[in-house]
Each structure stands twice: as structure tokens, then as C-alpha cells.
Structure 1
Amino acid sequence: MKIAFYTLGCKVNQYETQAVAELFKENGFEIVDFDSKADVYVINTCTVTNISDRKSRQAIKKAKKLSPQSIVVVMGCYPQVYPKEVEKIEDVDIIIGTKDRQRIVDYVRQYLEDKKKIVAIDGEYKREAFEELKISEFNDRSRAFIKIEEGCDQFCSYCIIPYARGAVRSRSLKSIEEEVRRLVQKGYKEFVMTGINISAYGKDLEGKVTLIDVIEKVNGIEGVKRIRLSSLEPVIMNDEFIERLLGFDKLCHHLHLSLQSGSDKILKLMNRHYTTDQYRSIVERVRQKWDDVAFTTDIIVGFPGETEEDFNDTVKFVQTIGFSRIHVFRFSPKKGTKAYEMSNQVDNKEKERRSKIMKEVAKDLSYQFHRKFVDNTLEVLIEQDSDFDGYYEGYSGNYIRTLIRKSHMIVPGEIYKVKIIQAYEQYVKGEIIQ
């Protein structure tokens, strides 16, 4: 049988889709592109924003249009949080949340036998063991994502994810090490440690095991050339953590340090447990040792109660920090979160205006950061063909998207020294140093 996958959302979802795809492959299914006609379609959903929910529904509709007799499986955060809403969609045959993905092949076989809709949603969010979903490769990727943690206990006032993913569950160091070693044998050189909240890694494990221990373990594995971290919470970045973090030679000089707002008033309303002064201090401490470090972040504009002054404070703050990349989000009220019920909701047109301003600021900051490296040399992992004809593209250790002219001498998946010759807002161009 032919099966196709569609993934929305974060790196964790990408990891989980790959793991589920391997389960089907082991059971004799042929994996095809989502745009192709298939017997089974698996849609791994996201519910961070209302737009994510809409995209999930569009993917469901597309699958049935491509193949009306197919089995449509919807899994992930959207059905976990809104099971009744998904259950009402006629085109959905199997519904799975964010647990028991290992049983997905059995669910498909069960449906093939009795043709009855399956709803396998566990609404309990008890702290359980980490669900192992192992991978052996990543299709069309030179970087490997390693899921080290599941769940979040922070309950930021705007975020539905703790309700979708449950409490923090950490993967064992032994399991992480085994997967990295397996992927090293496949030729992967860069490993991205990912999870719902990797800063909370270890809080559910016996002994004082933390994210630093994961990095230390992976840093010591022969064949690993780079370690990259997904989003970090500022609250983890105390002096001891920073000192140890900066000592790992394989750790990429790129930190995605979650901010959300540059206004202390708004940070408090968001239930974020740090101030802008604390955030600035972290950045300064890291830059004392890593002068080439890239800080990337997320910003929400138009949060309830955000005044023009609050927004301007955020603009000034991101300019002061000098982020290399900013993901800008307009506040999207999610039913079930505290922010959904808050007063002083910002008008949609105003949110759009602030979003456009912040995106222009982000573009300027990216260009300024890229320009600093012109005539300098960066090590770039070549990943794939670029959208630009005649070029490969990849990323430097400090997460600069780099375009390099194609040559028979260049092998995707390898790391090269590249001299940067031109800088743009979204990328740089360079040439291999022989």
C-alpha cells in the first residue's frame, strides 16, 4: 500500500513524522509524496495558532480530493486539544493525539478490517515515560533532529501546547546516545537537540540530569561535528549553565533564546519568568566569549494589553540585542488559554501594522548581521539544491543561510570552509576555499 505524509509545525513534529514513516516502511508500505495518489494519508498537525488548525483542515480536504477512497489519519496537537472538532470532520478516518504513535500501523490495519472510524485520544496529562520513537535517517536532510524531551509545564498565558503535549517527560541519555551513534553511521554530521521545552530536560528523571548532560554526552561522540539546540528558555541560562555551555567545542555558535516581548509589563502578562534586563545580561555574557554568535528569537505582537509604548519598547529592545533572525507572530487568541479571556485585546488591523513594522526591523537586523561576515570565512554544511538556479545552499555554524555555486567537487552533507563574498537580508553568497 502507498502512504503519504504531511507535517505542520515544529521540528518535533518533523521528527515524529519521520519515526512514524519508518514504522510504516518496516511494515511493507511504500512512501510517496503527499501530492500523489495514495492509499493512506497521515497528517501530523499543529495547533499553535488558529491558522495552523485551518491548514490542518485544508490538508485533510486535499488528501480526500487526491484519493477519495483513501484512509486519512490525523495525528498530533490539533486532535489532542480539540478531539470533538476533528471527529466531526467527515473525511477523517483515524484520529490519534500526541501519545501511542507506535500503534499507528495497528490502527490502520484495524480500519482496513472493519471500516469504522477510530478515535484514539487519551485526554489525561499524567507524567508518564517518554514515548520512544526511533529514527534511522532523515529524508532529504543533512541535519538530524534528535527528540530528547516531550511536554511543557510552563503554561505561558498565550500557549495551548502544555494541553496538547502534557507534562515534561525526558528521554534517557542512553537512548539519545544510541540514536546519535546510529545516525553518525549513516553519515550525519550535525545534530539538532529538539523537544517541546528542552530547557526542562531532566526534571522528571532521577538524579541531577539536565540539558547540559545531554550536550556533554553528544559532544563526546566520535563523528559528531556539530550540535545545535532548538529553542532555549532564558530562565535556564544562569552563570553555571552558561559557563559549561560555552565550553563545548562542537556546539554551534547559534542560540535561539525565546523572548516574545521587549516589554517587562507584557512579559509578566504572558507569564514569562524573566525580565528584559536579565535577558540582556545573558546575551552580553555569551558574547564575551563567542563574538560571532547568532541570537535568534520569537516575538509576539499585539498581545492583549500591548500599548504603542510597549510595542515601541520591544522594537528598541530587539534592535539593542541585534538578533540575526526574528520569527514574528501576530497574537492569535487560542480557546483554552488565559490570554483568550484577557481584556484589552488588540485590533487585528493594529496587529497587522505592528507585524509589518517588526518584520522590517527583523530584515534590517539580519542584513546587518550577515554583512559583518563579508570577506570572512565560515564553515558551512551543504544541505541541498537551492531555489536559486546553479547553487547549493547550507548553513554555517552560526545559522547563516549560505549559497554556493554548484561544482562537481561539492558533496551535499559535507562541511566546507567558505569565504563570504556578498550579504543579503535572507542569505549570503560565498565560495569554497580550496
Structure 2
Amino acid sequence: MKKNQIDVVTLGCSKNLVDSEMLMKQLLANGYTVKHDPEKPEGEIVVINTCGFIGDAKEESINTILGFAQAKKNRKLSKLFVMGCLSERYMEELRTEIPEVDRFYGKFGWKGLISDLGKSFKQDVEYERALTTPSHYAYLKISEGCNRACSYCSIPIMTGRHKSRSIEEIVQEVRSLVGQGVKEFQIIAQDLSYYGLDLYKEMKLAELIERISEVDGVEWIRLHYAYPAKFPYDVLRVMREKDNVCKYLDIALQHISDNMLTKMRRNISKKETIELINRIRREVPGIHIRTTFLVGHPGETDADFEELVQFVKDVKFERMGAFPYSNEEGTYAYSEYEDNIPESVKQERMDVLMAIQERVALDSNEAKIGKVLQVIIDREDEDYYIGRTEFDSPEVDPEVLVTKDKELKIGEIYNVKVTSAEPFDIYADIVS
């Protein structure tokens, strides 16, 4: 093991990643060498930032903890700390079951880790982060928590009620990140739509995005995780008018049948959902919408699912994901409904949706053949430069494979002409 080195392992979503980056900045400021998600962990101390969203994520988190607990038993590390959503939710059980962990911290208690190491929290870098992403883009978390009461979701149990950061604080962080070379920002929250209501008593997402767009050096802004009910339509004007606000929106719809939307407690109807999608596309021509759907929720009939299938076929979302229902303790669905849909049926329904989406994605990508698009270059491999358009978020969306006719710089934006397409990849030649 390497003395004075701390390995930070992040599981789950990009919001967790931001927390890890803030922790890492504090560790660096206190003189530690810090590695993030190393292929071969070698630090004397390991910090695991856990996810507790659904069954698979919890299982991954527990298995990761157990693996490092065994490494500690084998004296391959001296201290093991666990933080994040899983330990927020199951701290007492984890303490009992995995005593090898030196200390557990909740979702928001990670600052205590610094003092437990005998170090001090550095106020001068309180809002700074050690970026784990390529240096040209970063995730920007604008709020914590969620006030919604969706039947299936355990997130509010772990994160608490919605708490917006101030516009001034966020803009200050953007300026700081731009100073470090960041030019692309993925705006993230559990619920973008709610932003500002708690702090300013009115929706402020549009004003926030406009303020961010006016910071010199911000080239792309992309919005993630909007909520469909009471959607802040004024953000569409900003998206339409500001060249550096990408025509991209990640908005989780979860279902379309009125029966399921009611059981899921989504506070929106099928008619309102269709009107929402139509208005978004009407007000922002060319927008690419990413959404997710939940299948196998208690009470989902074959008719409900067929309604969802037809909706996906008709609306043709440019980007889409699906996941099966997970029966989570503490949720409304857990206490009020019987989880009576077999796992095999849940998986089959998810597979059906994703097979449809593969065809839709191919059609969307093939429609770009012959067009000139802007692409930001993320990395280089042996055969191609690999980047993304404004319609593509890192990790989850298609990539653009650019032929190596000219030398390109990582993090720069270039014009490319699309030559061919697959469902999840686009091929292009450099134009300028």
C-alpha cells in the first residue's frame, strides 16, 4: 500500500461524482495523494461513495464495500471509509454487518471524514473540486434533494427535501471552473424543474441558465433531470435564444398510461404529457429529448405496457432509457402495493422498449448523414477522434467517431460532416 495515498471509489450517478470531487479537493488541500477509481487500488486509505437508488445499485455498493473490507483484512489497506446514499439509508445495519469499515458517513456528512483523518476542512476551497472528468467538461449540481412523492422512488428518503443553491454561488462556481479550462457544463439535480422555489419562492431555472450562459468561456450548457409536472416553460426561450444552451433536455417521464401515472403519483396525465412534449418540440425546433421509462411497477397491466410501447413508437424520443421496478423499503409503493409482476416480465418489457428505441435511435442518427455538426472532442483512440454533438451527453448518449485526417485537440469544438450512422455511434469527417 502507498502511504499518504487515498483512493476514492465513486458508485452511482453524476451527483455522487460531484460530491467525490469536492471531497478529493479537500484531501488534496490537506496534502494527500488522491486517485479516483483506480484500476489497481494501492492507497493506504480507501473511501467508497455509495449509491442506494435501486436493488442493482445497492448490490454493487455492498459488494464493493465487502471487497475492500476483505482487502483490509488482508492488510492491503489500513483504513476504509464509506459515504453516500447507501450509508445514509442503512447506516446502522451496515455498521453491524461490516465492522471492517472504520466509519460510515451519510450523503451530506462527508466533511466529518476530513476531521476524522486529523485534518482541517479548508474553507478557501469549499466550493472547489478536483475534476475527474476530462478537463473541458464538468457536472454542475444546482440543488440537492427532492420534494416529489413518486411512489417508487427512495431518493427523497436519502437526500431529504429540495434545497436550491443560490444563483450567485452557482455562477461563481462556473467562473471558477471556466478558469480551470472547463467549457461545457452538464447541469444536474434530482429535479431541475423545482429549482428556486424553496429559495426565491418562484421557479428560477430560466434565470439561472441565462446567467450561466452569459459567463465568458461557457460554450455548451446541457440540462439534466427535469420533472414533467409544472415544467418551467420559460427555460425553452433561453434554450432557443442562447447559442451556448444546447438543444437538449433530459426529462424523465416514467410512463404514459393514466392508470400508471396515477399509481406512480406523477401528478401529470397522459394528455398533459403529450402537450408538454409537443410544446417543447414546437418552441425549440431540433431539440433532442432524453427520457426514461419505468416498467413493471405494481399494477402495470399488459394494456398499460402496450400503451407505453405505442407512445414510444409514436413520439420517437431521440434518446431513451428504461429500467425495471425495484421494490424499495420506505417508499409508498412498498407499503401500499404488492410487487406482483415477475422479474422475468419486468426484464422482458424493458427489453421490448429498448429494442424499439434502437430502431428510433438509428433513424435519428441516420437523419444526420450529410449534415455538418459541431462536435467537441473528448478523447483519441487508435483509429478515431471521439467526440459528441450538442445533442449528446457524456456516458449515456451516442458518440461521434471522427476520421483522423487532421490533428485535432482534445476539448476543442470542430465542424464535422456525418458520413454514416449506427444506433449508438455516428461516423464523420472533419470539415474545419
TM > 0.5: yes
In the other structure, the counterpart of 1:197 is: 191
How much does 1:207 deviate? 5.4
Q: 1:357 to 1:207 in 2, by over 3 A?
A: closer
Counterpart CA distance in 1 for 2:279 and 2:136 is 31
Counterpart CA distance in 1 for 2:235 and 2:332 is 31
Paired residues for 1:173-188 under 5 Å? 173-188=167-182
What per-residue deviation string (whole Å, max 9, x for no partner) do you get for residues 359-412 of structure 1?
A: 1112111111111101101111111235xx422222101114211134662111
**Alignment equivalent of 1:286, drawn from 258, 280, 285:** 280
**Alignment equivalent of 1:422, drawn from 410, 416, 420:** 420
SS in 1 for 2:387: strand
Counterpart CA distance in 2 for 1:345 and 1:77 is 27
One-letter identity of the residue aligned with 2:346: K
Counterpart CA distance in 1 for 2:127 and 2:79 is 22
- Asked whether the equivalents of residues 36 and 66 of structure 1 are also in contact (C-alpha less than 8 Å), the reply is no
What per-residue deviation string (whole Å, max 9, x for no partner) do you get for residues 150-172 of structure 1?
A: 01010211000001001111111
1:41 aligns with 2:46: yes
How much does 1:14 deviate? 1.0
One-letter identity of the residue aligned with 1:31: V
Counterpart CA distance in 2 for 1:224 and 1:160 is 34
Paired residues for 1:210-221 under 5 Å? 210-221=204-215
How much does 1:83 deviate? 1.2
- Asked whether the equivalents of residues 135 and 179 of structure 1 are also in contact (C-alpha less than 8 Å), the reply is no
**Alignment equivalent of 1:252, drawn from 243, 246, 252:** 246
**Alignment equivalent of 1:105, drawn from 109, 114, 119:** 114
One-letter identity of the residue aligned with 1:428: I
Paired residues for 1:13-412 under 5 Å? 13-32=16-35, 33=38, 35-67=40-72, 68=75, 69-88=77-96, 89-109=98-118, 133-135=127-129, 137-206=131-200, 208=202, 210-237=204-231, 239-341=233-335, 342-343=337-338, 345-385=340-380, 389-399=382-392, 400-406=398-404, 409-412=407-410
Q: 1:409 to 1:401 in 2, by over 3 A?
A: same
Q: Which runs of 5+ in 1 are unaligned?
A: 111-131
SS in 2 for 1:430: strand
How much does 1:86 deviate? 1.5
What per-residue deviation string (whole Å, max 9, x for no partner) do you get for residues 330-351 of structure 1?
A: 1110111111230362111111
Counterpart CA distance in 2 for 1:407 and 1:21 is 38
One-letter identity of the residue aligned with 2:138: A
- Asked whether the equivalents of residues 325 and 366 of structure 1 are also in contact (C-alpha less than 8 Å), the reply is yes
For normalisation by structure 1, the TM-score amounts to 0.90
Counterpart CA distance in 2 for 1:29 and 1:238 is 43
- Asked whether the equivalents of residues 254 and 295 of structure 1 are also in contact (C-alpha less than 8 Å), the reply is yes
Counterpart CA distance in 2 for 1:398 and 1:139 is 19
SS in 2 for 1:159: coil
Q: Which runs of 5+ in 2 are unaligned?
A: 120-125, 393-397
Alpha-carbon RMSD: 1.9
How much does 1:36 deviate? 2.0
1:2 aligns with 2:5: yes
SS in 2 for 1:365: helix
* Residue range with higher mean Cα deviation, 304-313 or 179-188: 179-188
Aligned length in residues: 411
Counterpart CA distance in 2 for 1:48 and 1:212 is 28
How much does 1:199 deviate? 1.6
For normalisation by structure 2, the TM-score amounts to 0.90
Counterpart CA distance in 2 for 1:276 and 1:254 is 22
Counterpart CA distance in 2 for 1:408 and 1:193 is 32
What per-residue deviation string (whole Å, max 9, x for no partner) do you get for residues 21-71 of structure 1?
A: 111111111123252221111111111111111111111123244453431
- Asked whether the equivalents of residues 373 and 418 of structure 2 are also in contact (C-alpha less than 8 Å), the reply is yes
